Amino acid sequence: MAENTVELLILGTRTFAEEVADLASAIHGVHVAGFVENTDRDRCNRPLGGLPVYWIEEIGPLVRCCRGICALSTTLRSRFVQQAAEIGMRFVTLIHPSAVVSPQAQIGEGTVVGPGCVIASHTRLGSHVIVNRGVLVGHHTTIGPFCSLQPGANVAGACAVGEATYIGMGAIVIDHVSIGSHSIVGAGAVVVRDVPDHVQVLGMPARIVKENIAGK
């Protein structure tokens, strides 16, 4: 393996983990070394995509030579990230070659930016954010850690999205809107006013349909 190649362990073994493995394979200097499981130990008995699956408690010897990325689309992935970090895992940022990221944008550790995404100038993405296929994030917008932006979501300029919020497929957030932490914006919703913490919003325009939630 080339000296500067990053050996990558993907936290997760579901279908999205396979998608992230495919994304990583398109990035020069990244080699996927395997997957990590933390709930079903029997899953470690068979490979995934021809690669080994490691049990979380047994990756200690690997963290010295490998970096990690969490490939769970749920905003509750912070638990898995914390578990791996306590063992000594360090994380990388993955940006697909087809994504357009302004040099004035800031991308946090452990964040995934998928194919066809556009991240505009002076935008800040926190750590361990999932920016899925074809997402648009406007200028001067801040996305908090552990957020999930699903395919085709469009968050306009000068917005603020709190920690661990889930923005569904095709949702639109107009400019200068704030969305709280641990909330859910449903697929196809159009957000035209501020959204508080711990709520789910749906529709056009988006309205609160559920309260006291903890993300998705």
Measured CA to CA in angstroms, residue 200 lies from 15, 110, 162, 207 at distances of: 25, 26, 14, 8
Which of 31, 139, 140, 198 is labelled catalytic? 139
**Would you list the DSSP string of the chain?**
--TTPEEEEEE--SHHHHHHHHHHHTSTTEEEEEEEESS-GGGGGS-BTTB-EEEGGG-GGGTTTEEEEE---SGGGHHHHHHHHHHT--B--EE-TT-EE-TT-EE-TT-EE-TT-EE-TT-EE-TT-EE-TT-EE-TT-EE-TT-EE-TT-EE-TT-EE-TT-EE-TT-EE-TT-EE-TT-EE-TT-EE-S-B-TTEEEETTTTEEEEES----
Task: Work out the end-to-end distance of the chain between its first and last CA atoms, rounded to an integer number of angstroms.
Answer: 38
Is residue 139 flagged as an active site residue?
yes
List residues with catalytic annotation: 139
